[in-house]
């Protein structure tokens, strides 16, 4: 094994700066940085956000309003494990449009409490390079029981704190 071999456990990042996969990465990183201007520019006005099993939120303005309410109170981090884009054939010339699938770890941070859990996401990107659908799937047992238990244990024993 050489030092030049890519580590299969590290996040996959595309070199393409115009493709749908890059759009999704920039979208989630903007959310993590609370860069709502970038987030807004990458979200279509009719964006649909579905956390499967929870109520669907429709419309970029509603989603931004909700996220802005958490500004400075709730932190978000993301680590991509895998990302794959299926660019639409009509968008081949622009590199925009298509479906993006992600496997990632998300962290929600409430003060010293860090809830970390696995997420699979599906994103639809239109020909303008804006996200029209953001659908996340996750294990409720992980989010509601395991992640809080790990977070609380990490408060008591710092070496148990979840991290990337």
Q: What is the pLDDT of residues 28-39, one digit of tens each?
A: 999 999 999 999
* 87 beta partners: 98
Catalytic residue among 106, 127, 139, 142: 106
- pLDDT(114) > 60: yes
Q: Is 46 a catalytic site residue?
A: no
Q: Is 16 a catalytic site residue?
A: no
Q: Read off the pTM.
A: 0.82
- pLDDT(119) > 50: yes
- pLDDT(17) > 80: no
26: which 2 tokens? Answer: 């920039």
Contact 57, 49 (CB under 8 A): yes
Q: Which domains, from first to last, does the chain contain?
A: 20-158 (3.10.450.50)
Phi-psi category of residue 9: left, alpha or beta, with phi > 0 → left and psi -120 to 50 → alpha: alpha
Contact 91, 58 (CB under 8 A): no
Helix, strand or coil for residue 135?
A: strand
Residue 111 confidence (pLDDT): 94
Catalytic residue among 4, 22, 136, 142: 136
- pLDDT(14) > 90: no
Q: Give the CA count within 13 Å in the CB-facing half-sphere of 154.
A: 17
CA angle 25, 20, 126 (to 5 degrees): 120
For the segment 71-99, what is each residue's pLDDT rounded down to a tens digit? 999 999 999 999 999 876 544 545 568 99
Residue 31 confidence (pLDDT): 97
Distances (CA, A) of 6 to 64, 94, 116: 36, 28, 25
């Amino acid at each position: 094994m050489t030092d030049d071999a890519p580590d299969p456990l590290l996040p996959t990042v595309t070199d393409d700066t115009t493709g749908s996969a890059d759009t999704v990465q920039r979208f989630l990183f903007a959310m993590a940085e609370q860069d709502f201007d970038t987030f807004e520019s990458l979200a279509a006005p009719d964006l649909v956000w579905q956390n499967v099993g929870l109520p669907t939120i429709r419309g970029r303005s509603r989603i931004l309003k909700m996220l802005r309410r958490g500004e400075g109170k709730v932190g978000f981090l993301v680590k991509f494990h895998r990302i794959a884009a299926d660019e639409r054939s009509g968008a081949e010339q622009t590199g925009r449009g298509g479906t993006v699938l992600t496997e990632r770890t998300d962290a929600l941070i409430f003060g010293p409490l860090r809830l970390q859990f696995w997420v699979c996401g599906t994103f639809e990107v239109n020909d303008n390079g804006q996200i029209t659908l953001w659908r996340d799937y996750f294990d409720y047992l992980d989010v509601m029981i395991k992640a809080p238990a790990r977070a609380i244990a990490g408060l008591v024993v710092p070496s148990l704190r979840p991290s990337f």
